[in-house]
């Protein structure tokens, strides 16, 4: 009878083995808060005084109310001029919008291209809403039809027409034979 009792206890323990189910862990830099809004393949239109200023496309968008931040994955932003023509396109793997200032931060493989063919490449930049400028303190590379400039620290209008690189590490003027 004792053997049957021990066998029953062992069988009961094996049968009652708790299957460990791990909850989904949120892998976002916003700790302690669940997004109030989450969407995929999103399109957000920005306008000022009734004029189209930008259209943001995001593969995944998560908005956090308490921390007033929106996280973006797979982003593309089309910027428009005063005539509402698309003049600059910015792409990046990740981004973040400060919902208070509406400043946007683009990170990882950031590329901005304007309608003149000027291409800006960097790992991180900020689009400042109040003056609609693009800034970065990281390494940047700018290639236009006339020149190639690389360096650290950058500021430009959002259309890449007037830009400054603060610490230039390389520059070259392209001749007609080297222009692409």
Please give the pLDDT value at position 2: 65
pLDDT, one tens digit per residue, over 38-91 is 999 999 898 888 889 889 999 999 999 999 999 999 999 999 998 989 999 999
In angstroms, the CA 33 to CA 160 distance is 37
Average pLDDT over residues 102-111: 94
For the chain, give the mean pLDDT: 86
Given a cut of 60, is residue 8 above it in pLDDT? Answer: no
In this prediction the pTM is 0.77
Residue 175's pLDDT is what? 81
C-alpha dihedral over 131, 66, 38, 105, to 10 degrees? 30
| Total number of residues shown for the chain | 180
The contacts found for 110-115 with CB under 8 angstroms, 24 or more apart, are 112/88, 112/160, 113/88, 113/89, 114/87, 114/88, 114/159, 114/160, 114/161, 115/85, 115/86, 115/87, 115/88
Higher-pLDDT residue of 36 and 175 is 36
Give the distance between the most distant pair of CA atoms in the chain. Answer: 99
Contact between 149 and 156 (Cβ < 8 Å): no
Q: With bands split at pLDDT 50, 70 and 90, how would you rate the model's confidence at 4?
A: low
pLDDT in tens, 123-141: 999 999 899 899 999 999 9
Structure tokens at 4: 């049957």
Q: What is the mean pLDDT of residues 155-171?
A: 93
Return the pLDDT at 25.
46
Residue 20: pLDDT band with limits 50, 70, 90: low
């Amino acid at each position: 009878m004792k053997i049957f009792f021990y066998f029953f206890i062992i069988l009961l323990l094996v049968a009652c083995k708790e299957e460990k189910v791990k909850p989904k862990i949120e892998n976002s830099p916003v700790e302690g808060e669940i997004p109030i809004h989450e969407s995929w393949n999103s399109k957000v239109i920005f306008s000022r005084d009734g004029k189209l200023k930008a259209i943001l496309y995001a593969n995944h968008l998560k908005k956090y109310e308490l921390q007033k931040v929106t996280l973006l994955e797979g982003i593309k932003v089309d910027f428009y001029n005063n005539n509402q023509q698309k003049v600059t396109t910015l792409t990046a793997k990740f981004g973040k919008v400060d919902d208070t200032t509406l400043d946007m931060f683009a990170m990882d493989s950031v590329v901005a291209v304007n309608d003149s063919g000027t291409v800006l490449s960097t790992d991180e930049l900020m689009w400042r809403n109040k003056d609609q400028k693009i800034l970065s303190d990281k390494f940047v590379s700018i290639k236009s039809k006339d020149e190639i400039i690389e360096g650290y620290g950058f500021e430009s209008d959002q259309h890449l027409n007037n830009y400054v690189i603060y610490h230039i590490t390389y520059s070259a003027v392209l001749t007609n034979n080297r222009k692409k």
